Chain A
Amino acid sequence: MRNPLAAGILTACLVLGGCGGANVLVETTVPTPLVQPLPLTMGVHFDASLTDYVHEEELERHGKFRIELGSTQVPVFERVFDAVFARTEPVTSIEAAGAGVDAIIVPVVEELQFSIPAQTRSDFFEIWIKYKIDIHAPDGELLASWPLPAYGKSNSRNFGFMESSGDMGLNEATVWALRDAAAHFAFYFPQVPEIRALTAKASERSG
């Protein structure tokens, strides 16, 4: 670069992350939840709207933000579904499940919101992800849609001189939000009335 001033500013932006905006590619998974599996064989379908999910937003005075959440949700949900259900089967479409499953679940991202410390005058980067889990019968009929709210935050004070780095802060907040989604699902999904009914039926079947 011929202009040393421009080079200096670019370097400072890259190092300090202080020029606004963020470009976040989230890559994570979660530990296997310690829960008793339900006696169900569950078909699992990941729609492209989930696996390709990207949130883009421009905040006035703070720049452009891009959070690429899509593909990392698959290992997170797979891990939690494998723990919560006795068996899972990937299905390519809701109609293609067949009779071998008790139901099909389809996670959907309805909305993602985030905030940065400069907006809230707090120390935290925060992420809210509003999921819904669609529960379909084996023939494809929609039985229920269960809301799954997820929240994650990261403390900018943990990042030292990188505390204004949106990339680092939003990445960590998103990882916590995905853990929160997994935890919430593991604890509360078995209590959904339609799932309780399916579980009771499966228990009766097995004697």
Chain B
Amino acid sequence: MSRRAHSPLRTAPARLLVALALLTLVPGCVTATVQEVREGSTGIRADESIVVLGRKHKTRNETETGFVDCVSRAVAGGRRDFGVMSESDFVDATFPWFEPRTAPLDVEDFSEVIGHPLLSERIREIGVRYLVWIEGTTQRTSETGTVNCTMVSGGIPACFGFLSWENDSSYEASVWDVHQGVNVGRVRSEAVGTSFIPALVVPIPIVARVRQSACNSLSDQLRSFLSDGAEV
């Protein structure tokens, strides 16, 4: 009589666990939109780079560092048409001109600041052509329902209920041309998504990756905005 090997995946609890694990990978639905306003021509050479910067002068609604890093990585990770300098490398290389209290807030300030010989020389050395200023945040806008967890017989934890929440991402990137000292345009990305946690003994989070979606759509649009702007 032949004996079949006993696979751990053939038991009912194991199948349930695998099913639950797969369910947690199911993302919630996200709706993302992106808008572009062009105010000047763009174009970038392979030996030039951009830097993505977060505004840090406000005491409310400061853009998350993770979002700025995400956009920076995503723009760098596409077609290698140009370089992307990290925010920290840029602010260190230009210290103290782009600190939270000293960074130019508008393009008029910027054209004045960039006229400083030491700074303009440093920016020329590091090859930065465009500054991309990001503003905005992701907020939880609504939340409904509850999930209650308790110990049932035998000391096993169990959760029951239904929880859902909506996240709303709204970000805008302003692109400044270092050579011309002008604002060449803006790209705006918005995303909305609802996440759920249904719980019948085991809670199953189905999370909408709203911020990631806003990052992806903003980055894709930024890349084409910078590369396909008619002239260099």
Task: Give 29 CB contacts A-B under 8 Å.
Answer: A31-B93, A31-B95, A33-B95, A33-B96, A34-B95, A34-B97, A34-B118, A34-B122, A35-B96, A35-B118, A122-B59, A122-B60, A123-B60, A124-B59, A124-B62, A153-B100, A155-B62, A155-B65, A157-B64, A158-B66, A179-B96, A179-B99, A180-B99, A180-B101, A182-B95, A182-B96, A183-B95, A183-B96, A187-B96
Q: Which chain B residues border A186 with CB–CB below 8 Å?
A: 96
Is B141 located at the chain interface by the 8 A CB criterion? no
Q: Which chain A residues border B56 with CB–CB below 8 Å?
A: 153
Q: How far is the CA of A33 from the CA of B93 in the complex (A)?
A: 9
> B118–A153 contact, CB under 8 A?
no
Is B212 located at the chain interface by the 8 A CB criterion? no
Tell whether A187 pairs with B65 under 8 Å between CB atoms, given A33-B96, A34-B122, A122-B60: no
Is A151 located at the chain interface by the 8 A CB criterion? yes
Among A153, A157, A176, chain B packs the most CB atoms within 10 A around the CB of: A157
> B66–A32 contact, CB under 8 A?
no
Q: Which chain A residues border B94 with CB–CB below 8 Å?
A: 34
Give how many A residues have a beta carbon under 8 Å from the other chain's beta carbons: 23
Q: How far is the CA of A187 from the CA of B119 in the complex (A)?
A: 13
Is B92 located at the chain interface by the 8 A CB criterion? yes
B176, chain A: closest CB distance, angstroms: 19
Q: How far is the CA of A155 from the CA of B65 in the complex (A)?
A: 9
Map CB proximity to B onto A148-192 as digits: 1 under 8 Å, 0 otherwise.
000101010110000000000000000010011011101100000
Contact-residue bracket for chain B: 20 to 34
> B101–A184 contact, CB under 8 A?
yes
Closest 5 CB pairs of A and B: A183-B96, A31-B95, A31-B92, A158-B65, A183-B99
> B64–A158 contact, CB under 8 A?
yes
Q: Which chain B residues border A153 with CB–CB below 8 Å?
A: 56, 59, 100
Task: Please report the number of residue pairs spanning A and B whose Cβ atoms sit closer than 8 angstroms.
Answer: 52
A145, chain B: closest CB distance, angstroms: 22
Is A30 located at the chain interface by the 8 A CB criterion? yes
Contacting residues of chain B (83-113) with chain A, CB-CB under 8 angstroms: 92-97, 99-102
- For the A-B complex with A183-B99, A186-B96 known, give 13 more contacts whose Cβ atoms are closer than 8 Å: A31-B95, A33-B95, A34-B118, A34-B122, A35-B118, A36-B118, A124-B59, A153-B56, A158-B64, A158-B65, A158-B66, A176-B100, A187-B102
B88, chain A: closest CB distance, angstroms: 10
Q: Which chain B residues border A30 with CB–CB below 8 Å?
A: 95
Q: Which chain B residues border A158 with CB–CB below 8 Å?
A: 64-66
Q: Which chain A residues border B99 with CB–CB below 8 Å?
A: 179-180, 183
Q: Which chain B residues border A122 with CB–CB below 8 Å?
A: 59-60
Contacting residues of chain B (156-173) with chain A, CB-CB under 8 angstroms: none
Q: Which chain A residues border B60 with CB–CB below 8 Å?
A: 122-123
Q: Which chain A residues border B59 with CB–CB below 8 Å?
A: 122, 124, 153
B5, chain A: closest CB distance, angstroms: 38
Q: How far is the CA of A88 from the CA of B82 in the complex (A)?
A: 41
